[in-house]
Amino acid sequence: MINWANFISQCFNGLVLGALLALVASGLTIIYGTLGVLNLAHGAMFMLGGYAGWLAYSYTESFIAAVFAGTIFVMIVGVLVERVIIRHFYQRPHEDQLLVTFGLGIVFVETVRFFFGSLSKTVPPPSALVGITPLGFMFYPTYRLALLGIVAVALLALYVVLYRTRIGMIVRAGIEDSVMVDSLGIDVYKVFMLVFGIGAMAAGFAGIVNAPVVSIAPDVGEAILVQTFVVVVIGGVGSFPGAILGGLIAGEIISITSMFNPGYSYVMLFVAMTLVLVLRPYGLLGTAGRE
Amino acid sequence: MSRKDQKFGGVSRRTLLRAGAGLAGGVVLPSALTMPAFAVGVADKPPIGTWPAGSEGDTVNVAAAVPRTGTYAVQGEDELKGWQLAVEHINNGDPLLKKIAPKVSKGLLGKKVNLLSADSAAKPNQAVQEIQTFINQNKIVLMTGSTSSAVAVALNKFAQREKVLYVTGISGSNDTTGKDCVRYGFRQNFYGETAANAIGPVLVKQFGKNRKAAFMTPDYTYGHTVTKSVNDYLTKNAGWTMVTNQISPLGTQDFSQYLTNIANSGAEFLVNVNWGRDAVLSIQQAKQFGILPKMTLVVPYQIPFLAKETGPELTAGVYAATDFWWTLEDKYPLAKMFVEAFDKKYGYKPEWGANNAYMSFAIWAKMVSEADSLYPPDVIKQYEKGEKFDSTVGEVYFRKEDHQLVRPVIIVKGKAPKDMKNKEDYWEVLEVVPGAPLMQKPDAFGCNLGDYT
């Protein structure tokens, strides 16, 4: 079992899983970094992306339409949620923020279950990406290979927005010190709304592009939320590069451990998180003192 | 953990205080004989569990802790419908129920049965807490639930401690009526050992000896015991080898790491013991990795709605062992009545979880009505008489040593889409294997039932 072909295959699995985790975690981490709100409904938004996309697919039979629908829908949900609910919680204690986002997550999941039931729904990949691709050392599902590219492009787009635009500069400044940004005359609440929308959009996009790999069900976001938190802790809270590094590390730990004994893959993930917390409490690429 | 214990301790203290010292004497002491003056029950029966408090009114409560969210949500929902139908049939004296329990007439012992339920999410702690609440607040006379053997085992022990009867929902682990069996628990459905001994000969006959199999196993009592039983049969009787066993936690979504190991294992067969959504996802992803159809898929413990969720293309030609499939209506009159009643009420053909739920309640009603008592030891002794009766899979009876129903196991094979006569015609029944020869000796898995009182 432990041979080179298997090892390289597992590294590859880790890369695909890690890229997905990085994308979801980057949404979570910029929301937390900017707004100071830990969004426990992030997993539910991942799920909503999948369902909105699936619904669009069942009417249009177009994967591209599904991706757009999933992404845009969740972005709108994110903006609405921020305007209607979250903004009332900025001044309230963290526990209240956790409770309200946790509650929102339950509402989203159960609403979807009410309308669509618990049976898994499948969104097939575009026909060009069906099947398996020989890579020499192994065969790999074509869509998973493509997913790696799709997620990389999405992360690059996020990077450009955050690091190469004026709005991104404001967002990053907000992560460092939102009070200072506010006193410079920038409407920080408008920025918060935008950040929540972008963060939710990242989750929604991940939810729909992952649907051909893991068929969707109302609980699909639950497991990914837990892994995403670990990624954020490892990478450093509020750090976009940290989310990417954390995601890749988490993906590789889960995959490579499972080559030896799958039962330990999550144990090793939490061991890694504990080590990071002990040695570098603010995360690998986080900044000390940032809340 | 300690907090939970304290909570339970607190609850039972309150219950005792409320019931008064005489009641406490009856519950705490092993025999009422030591304190005859304090016995407040009927005749020589001291109060026990929720008896007689739960049986005094004109309604008796029963409760199910069943998964309606999480990995087993789909199967849990189907089970709940089975229990609801059974309760409805008990209360209106339906002809089907009277075929199983002739002494039931519009209600049980003249009382209406009321079903309560709560979502367990297939988590043992949650299920136990919910049932505890139902015992305290509603004085339930029967508990059920489980679509996971981890829950079944937990509720088994809880039932024995609280002295309230428990009939399992779906539970495939050998342990449920093996090392974790209890006097207060009863199981209607098939389990790892009978599944293995039923499907084993079919596989050997079909595919021959000395083959290589990869197993996928969910990491809890159900997975481990079913995998062991199936592997033991195939290795001992036909020289098969288990080239890899991929153990995944309940609720896994991405099986790529496990499937990569299997793809590199050189196996010819994929024996998938995963259940619920885990089974759906692992089978779909095995297809993505090209493992299916390269390897032959075997499902030793059938999952309700599997073919519907994966699509019949993936289950075509797959061999599976199951408890019930609706086309058995051609063979058994009671199955036909059940399938018709269920389809009429819910608009689809029942899967085996619903059938198991219905039957376990119908059998309980039979035992209560024949014992003419809701006093738990009387009902248990009625089960333990081991009398044969007619069911939706022919004649069955309970084994008194381990409280396991002796019942056939059904071997099915997935139909290709072109062979399906209607949209729910997913499986073809190959064989109905009689139950008794499939079972281990009653003490082989370490069953020790414990006390009546």
Q: Got the DSSP string for B162-179? A: HT-EEE-SS---GGGGTT
What distance in Å separates residue B26's CA from the closest CA in chain A? 44
Task: Say how many C-beta atoms besides its own lie within 10 A of residue B294's C-beta.
Answer: 13
pLDDT for res A34? 85
Do the domain assignments include residue A121? yes
A127, burial (CB in 10 Å: exposed 0-12, middle 13-18, buried 19+): exposed
Domain boundary, last residue among B402, B419, B448? B402
User: What ipTM goes with this model?
Assistant: 0.89
Whether residues B166 and B102 share a domain: the answer is yes
pLDDT of B4 reads: 39
Average pLDDT, chain B: 91
Mean pLDDT across the stretch A262-272? 89
Does residue B345 sit in the same domain as residue B419? Answer: no
Which three-class secondary structure string do you get for B138-161?
A: HCCCEEEECCCHHHHHHHHHHHHH
pTM: 0.89
Using beta carbons and an 8 Å cutoff, which residues of B are at the interface with A?
Answer: 68-71, 73-74, 77, 219, 244, 246-249, 251-254, 256-258, 260-261, 263-265, 277, 280-281, 284-285, 288-290, 305, 308-309, 311
A42 vs A179 pLDDT, higher one: A42
Residue A87 within any structural domain of the chain? yes
Question: What is the spatial distance between Cα A179 and Cα A173, in angstroms, rounded to a whole number?
Answer: 10
Q: Which residues of chain A does B264 touch, with a Cβ-Cβ cutoff of 8 Å?
A: 1, 3, 5-6, 9, 138
Q: Is residue A33 in a domain?
A: yes
Per-residue pLDDT, B42: 59
pLDDT band at A29 (very low <50, low <70, confident <90, very high): very high
Answer whether residue B426 is part of any domain.
Answer: yes
Q: Among B318, B362, B365, B305, which Cα is nearest to B338's? A: B362
Strands B296-299 and B319-322: parallel
Residue B374 lies in a domain: yes
- Are residues B303 and B429 part of one domain? yes
CATH number of the domain encompassing residue B71:
3.40.50.2300
Instruction: Say whether both B298 and B344 belong to one domain.
Output: no
pLDDT > 50? residue A32: yes
Q: Confidence band (pLDDT; 50, 70, 90) for A177?
A: confident
- The two three-digit tokens of residue B274, written as one number: 């995963």
Do B268 and B338 share a domain, yes or no?
A: no
Whole domain around residue B6: which residue ranges?
A: 1-44
A156 domain-assigned: yes
Residue A124: CB partners within 8 Å, gap ≥ 6? A63, A130, A212
| CB contact burial A243-254 (16+ within 10 A = b; e otherwise) | bbbbbbbbbbbb
Domain count along chain A: 1
Residues B141 and B118 occupy one common structural domain: yes
B423, part of any domain: yes
Give pLDDT, residue A264.
Answer: 86
Residues B227 and B293 reside in one and the same domain: yes
Helix (H, G, I), strand (E, B) or coil at B49: coil
Chains A, B: CB pairs < 8 Å? 105
> Which of A121, A132, A209, A214 to probe the B interface (max B CBs under 10 A)?
A214
Task: Determine, for residues B261 and A139 on separate chains, whether the beta-carbon distance falls below 8 Å.
Answer: no
B356 closest CA partner among B311, B319, B391, B314 = B391
Provide the pLDDT for residue B342.
Answer: 98
CB B227 within 8 A of CB B215: yes
Show the tokens assigned to B192: 């790892």
Q: Examine residue B440 and state whether it is found in any structural domain, yes or no.
A: no
Query: H helices within B29-123, ranges in order?
Result: 73-92, 95-100
- The shortest C-alpha distance from B232 to chain A (Å) reads 22
Q: Report how far residue B385's alpha carbon sits from residue B48's, in angstroms, rounded to the nearest whole number.
A: 22
Burial of B11 (0-12, 13-18, 19+ CB in 10 A): middle
Q: Given this model, what pLDDT does residue A290 score? A: 57
**pLDDT at position A36:** 87
Does B121 lie in the same domain as B8? no
- Is B5 inside any structural domain? yes
- Given a contact cutoff of 8 angstroms between Cβ atoms, the answer to whether B432 and B410 are in contact is yes
The domain tally of chain B equals 3
pLDDT at A75: 97
Interchain CB distance below 8 Å, A13 and B308: no
Judge whether A38 lies within some domain: yes
| In a domain? residue A9 | no
B218 & B255 share domain: yes
Minimal Cβ distance to A5: which of B71, B253, B264? B264
Verify that B308 and B337 share a domain, yes or no: no
- Residues 241-270 of chain A whose Cβ lies under 8 A from any Cβ of chain B: 254-255, 258-259, 262-263, 265-266
B108: DSSP letter: B
Predicted confidence (pLDDT) per residue in B229-257, tens digit: 999 999 999 999 999 999 999 999 999 98
d(CA B93, CA B103): 9
Searching chain B, which residue's CA lies closest to the CA of residue A255? B257
Q: Are residues B353 and B264 in the same domain?
A: no
Q: What is the pLDDT of residues B343-388, one digit of tens each?
A: 999 999 999 999 999 999 999 999 999 999 999 999 999 999 999 9
In a domain, B242, yes or no: yes
B34, B174: one domain: no
- Domain membership of residue A23 as a residue range: 14-218
User: Tens place of pLDDT for every residue, chain B, 453 residues?
Assistant: 344 344 333 444 444 334 444 433 334 444 434 444 343 455 688 999 999 999 999 999 999 999 999 999 999 999 999 999 999 999 999 999 999 999 999 999 999 999 999 999 999 999 999 999 999 999 999 999 989 999 999 999 999 999 999 999 999 999 999 999 999 999 999 999 999 999 999 999 999 999 999 999 999 999 999 999 999 999 999 999 999 999 999 999 999 989 988 998 999 999 999 999 999 999 999 999 999 999 999 999 999 999 999 999 999 999 999 999 999 999 999 999 999 999 999 999 999 999 999 999 999 999 999 999 999 999 999 999 999 999 999 999 999 999 999 999 999 999 999 999 999 999 999 999 999 999 999 989 999 999 999
Q: What is the mean pLDDT of chain A?
A: 92
Per-residue pLDDT band at A2 (split at 50, 70, 90): low
Residues of B in contact with A222 (CB under 8 A): 70, 251
- Whole-number percent of chain B with pLDDT over 70: 91
